[in-house]
Amino acid sequence: MEQGHIVRSFDEELGQAESLFLEMGGLVETQIADAAEALARRDAELADKVRSRDAEVDALETRIDELAVRVLALRQPMAEDLRAIVSTLKVSANLERIGDYAKNVAKRTTVLAKSPPIGSSADTIRRMSKLVQTMLSGVLDAYVARDLEAADDIRRRDEEVDQIHNALFRETLTYMMEDPRSITPCMHLLFIAKNVERIGDHITSIAEQVHYLVSGEMPVDERPKGDVTSYMAHGPEAEKSGT
């Protein structure tokens, strides 16, 4: 919006909310990247760093919430301002959750670093993390630029994340069948993959929020769902049902 408010301090507050929000987005991007890197390099030290940095993410969310409540109470924002403040609140909650998932990846990495690597799974997870990281930075750009098309585009890309997750699920199942000693690390890997998959879902929510921010309406079509692991089975039952 090129035209400023008559009350200039209102503009300042909205600007402040947006810059805090970007700071939080940037920090969460780093968390995802470092968590994936720590897993791939089996670097327990970097994993610890990710875990301790989560407090910073949480603190930013609190600051954003306080500012948003203040703007709602003092300015009674309307129209696009209202949508911007409500979106900031909702998206900061998404970012906070994404931060938690990154932290959980790091936690499990600390355990995984102590057991031998499982196939190429860490690389697959790194690829998946790279993808969600790109999606996150794209959706934050779309947010700032109020770019509806870019947001919708990212919303559709979540399917790729789901597909990698499905493939990894199958892959780890075979490792576990081959060698029961790999069950513990494989379970951790599966949870890690699930965390990254959930990150993708939160990015999809952010993309939907950007759609609302720009147009005033939530996207009408069903969100893409590619995660089929809930229906996957193995062994005799699976063969019977033909899964």
Partner 1 sequence: MMPQKDKDEALAEMQSGNEPVVAMSGRDVSVFYGEKQALFNVDLDIYENEVTALIGPSGCGKSTFLRCLNRMNDTIDVCRVTGELLLKGEDIYNPRVDVVELRARVGMVFQKPNPFPKSIYENIAYGPRIHGLVRGKAEMDEVVETSLQKAGLFDEVKDRLQGPGTGLSGGQQQRLCIARAIAVSPEVILMDEPCSALDPIATAKIEELIDELRENYTIVIVTHSMQQAARVSQKTAFFHLGELVEKGETQKIFTAPVDERTSNYVTGRIG
Point out which residues bind partner 1 (CB under 8 A).
1, 3-7, 10, 75-83, 212, 215-218, 220
CA 128 – CA 171 distance, rounded (Å) = 14
Rg of the chain, C-alpha, whole Å: 20
- With respect to partner 1, which residue has the nearer C-beta, 79 or 180? 79
- Residue 204 CB, nearest approach to partner 1 (Å): 15
Whose CA is closest to 149, among 215, 198, 88, 89?
215
- Given the complex with partner 1, which of 117 and 219 has the nearer CB atom? 219
For partner 1, the closer of residues 220 and 237 by Cβ is 220
Residue 77 CB, shortest distance to partner 1, in Å, is: 7
Based on CB atoms, which residue is closest to partner 1, 76 or 241?
76
- Between the CA of residue 232 and those of 91, 110, 139, 229, 239, what are the distances in Å? 32, 28, 31, 5, 11
Q: How far is the CB of 231 from partner 1 (least distance, A)?
A: 25
Asked whether the beta carbons of 144 and 137 are under 8 A apart, the reply is no
Nearest to 113 by CA among 69, 50, 31, 173: 50
Residue 212 Cβ vs partner 1, minimum distance, rounded to whole Å: 7
Q: Return the number of the residue (69 or 111) whose C-beta is nearest partner 1.
A: 69
Query: Shortest Cβ distance from residue 89 to partner 1 (Å)?
Result: 14
Nearer to partner 1, 27 or 82 (CB): 82
Quote the least distance from Cβ 208 to partner 1, whole Å. 9
Could you give the CA distance from residue 211 to residue 79 in angstroms, rounded to a whole number? 14
CA atoms within 13 A on the CB side of 155: 23
- Angle, nearest 10°, between helix axes 148-178 and 183-215? 170
Task: Return the exposure string of 7-37: e unless at least 16 CB atoms fall within 10 Å of the residue's CB, then b.
Answer: eeebeebbeebeebbeebbebbbebbbbbbb
